Structure 1
Amino acid sequence: MRFAGIVAVVFVTAFVVVSWVARGMPTGIRNSAAKPAVERTALEGRRVDATFRQGSELSPAPGPPTSPSDNDAKRQKIRLDVLQAANASEVAPCSAAIKAELVAALINYAAAYKQKLDCTSMMFCSEQKLKEAADTFSTPLDKRIREQVVKANELGGISLDDFSMAHRVPVGMMLGQYLQPNPEFCSLSADLQKEVRRRRAQN
């Protein structure tokens, strides 16, 4: 009997373990809050990015600005500040002062997006709020900003590491995929930098 009991316990234990693995090894709701900030940023960023792409795919080709966001003077000034800083960064990507200006401008840009989103946490933000915020920040000027940030980062640029932890998550949610710097450029000699720019202009 004792042997049969032991066999039964082993069988039940094995069944429970297999079932747990089959369900993807869930560990309860509390563990989701313990994910590293970087992982949460990546997850939230992909969700925001998907919403931006969906809006772009469903929208017709952009014509003259008609979005209500274009009439918001505060957001428009923030957009222009980011575009100006990104343009300056492309001209002088190795300048610490210009880099600091771009970082500050992007912090304000992400803060404006977060304010429009009006969610305490991205993980619990409704699809409707995500879409409304994505539409607000999908104007022709917003698209120019993203394109210019990419161009600036081809010659040096910035990454999420240039932001403090307090700002890394909101900036990463909105622009993380565009912040792919080329740190090797600033380590080149002045002559090689000119050659890189010359070849880049020809492409």
Structure 2
Amino acid sequence: MSRFVLFTCMAFVSTFVGVSWAIRGFPVSHVSLVGELRPTLSSSFGDEHSKARQRKDWEAEHTLQSDKDPKQDALRMDALQASTAYAMSPCDDTMKANLRAATEAYARGWVKIYDCPNPRMGMFCSEEKRDRANAAYSTPLDVRVKAQLAEAFK
């Protein structure tokens, strides 16, 4: 009889804890045993290949390199300009409208290249088209535009 009471109490406590945890949205501690990956020195340190790669990375980060597509470049520059202006003056309705229009045009360019009838169901669309759209939107200028858009929306 005492085992039955013990198991019944354990079942009630487990149910209470489980339901309480579920009501709170299954929170999990943010303590991680795995740390952030950090670069290590490699055997190519100081050789010409690594210097050329560092130079190329620096140019990509500090210049507005793109794929030289005039239509895409216009969308990129509009989005960059609108996001910078909005970050400087977020309370201005004109800046907000310009940012919205530029962001929509920038996103529509990606969707046009992707050419998927329903992008929300992307798993049924062509991976080749998705890769082509992602490649077209991964130039150094795109990286800068995305960073500036993130800063503006922050």
Superposed, which structure 2 residues align to 1:157-196 within 5 Å? none
Tell me what 1:70 maps to: 67
Q: Structure 1 residue 150: deviation in Å?
A: 1.6
Greater helix fraction, Structure 1 or Structure 2? 1
Counterpart secondary structure, 1:71: coil
Give the Cα separation in 2 of the matches to 1:98 and 1:109. 16
Tell me what 2:27 maps to: none
1:41-82: CA deviations, max 9, x gaps?
A: xxxxxxxxxxxxxxxxxxx886467xxx61210111110000
Superposed, which structure 2 residues align to 1:50-129 within 5 Å? 63=57, 70-122=67-119, 123=121, 124-129=124-129
1:22-45: CA deviations, max 9, x gaps?
A: xxxxxxxxxxxxxxxxxxxxxxxx
Q: Structure 1 residue 153: deviation in Å?
A: 2.0
Give the Cα separation in 2 of the matches to 1:109 and 1:149. 11
TM-score computed with the length of structure 1 as normaliser: 0.42
Give the Cα separation in 2 of the matches to 1:109 and 1:151. 16
**Counterpart check, 1:140 vs 2:137:** no
1:92-141: CA deviations, max 9, x gaps?
A: 01111100000000111111111111221222212221111111101111
**Once superposed, what is the RMSD of the aligned Cα atoms?**
2.0
Give the Cα separation in 2 of the matches to 1:121 and 1:99. 28
Give the Cα separation in 2 of the matches to 1:151 and 1:131. 26
Provide structure 1 residue ranges, at least 5 long, that are not aligned to the other structure. Answer: 1-59, 155-203
Provide structure 2 residue ranges, at least 5 long, that are not aligned to the other structure. Answer: 1-52, 61-65
Give the Cα separation in 1 of the matches to 2:80 and 2:96. 13
1:126-180: CA deviations, max 9, x gaps?
A: 22211111111011111111111121123xxxxxxxxxxxxxxxxxxxxxxxxxx
Q: After TM superposition, which residue ranges in structure 1, 4 or more long, deviate above 3 angstroms?
A: 60-65
AA of the residue aligned to 1:129: K
AA of the residue aligned to 1:146: K
Greater gyration radius = 2
Give the Cα separation in 2 of the matches to 1:118 and 1:153. 27
TM-score computed with the length of structure 2 as normaliser: 0.54
Give the Cα separation in 2 of the matches to 1:121 and 1:150. 25
Counterpart secondary structure, 2:67: helix
